[in-house]
């Protein structure tokens, strides 16, 4: 009966809160939590460090949260053209030129013209990203846009 009395009329101490939420701050401006999922080039694009604080980069169809590497991939970083995009071709060719990445409304790069050396370089980059950054999803073509 004391539970009902405390529930209806108060009287319980915050430290006895069974939910653990009594001290929670629900007004935080923190970004939404990450949930692994499917990204299209259009939805990946906003995670470029400008439109959203987070920085996501795709390599060989896998999307990585590279926010921790903001000094490299962020707006003023040397590899910022990869942020919010598929960086596969640029990494394979060891080129950071803007023409190495496709825009969100272009067909996805199938990478079939890469040389064996470039494919090996890309695989090495993929392994590096696997060790360094969390994989948060996959990059897939958006029907009617990137096919």
Q: Tell me, rounded to whole angstroms, the distance of Cα 18 from its chain centroid.
A: 34
**Which portions of the chain are predicted below pLDDT 50?**
3-4, 7-8, 14-15, 17-21, 24-28
Q: pLDDT at position 45, please? A: 96
Domains of the chain in start order, with CATH, are 37-139 (3.10.120.10)
Q: pLDDT at position 26, please? A: 44
Do 69 and 91 contact (CB within 8 A), yes or no? Answer: no
Q: pLDDT at position 51, please? A: 86
CA distances from 75 to 10, 34, 53, 80, 86 (A): 50, 21, 10, 6, 16
């Amino acid at each position: 009966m004391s539970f009902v009395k405390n529930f209806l009329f108060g009287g319980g101490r915050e430290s006895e809160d069974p939910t653990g939420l009594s001290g929670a701050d629900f007004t935080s401006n923190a970004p939404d939590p990450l949930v692994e999922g499917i990204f299209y080039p259009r939805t990946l694009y906003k995670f470029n460090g400008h439109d959203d604080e987070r920085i996501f980069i795709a390599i060989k169809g896998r999307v990585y949260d590279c926010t921790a590497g903001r000094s490299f991939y962020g707006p003023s970083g040397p590899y910022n053209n990869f942020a919010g995009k598929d960086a596969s071709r640029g990494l394979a060719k060891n080129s950071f030129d803007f023409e190495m990445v496709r825009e969100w409304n272009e067909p996805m790069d199938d990478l079939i013209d890469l040389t064996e050396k470039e494919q090996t370089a890309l695989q090495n980059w993929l392994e590096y990203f696997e060790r360094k950054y969390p994989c948060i999803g996959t990059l897939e073509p958006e029907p009617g846009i990137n096919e």
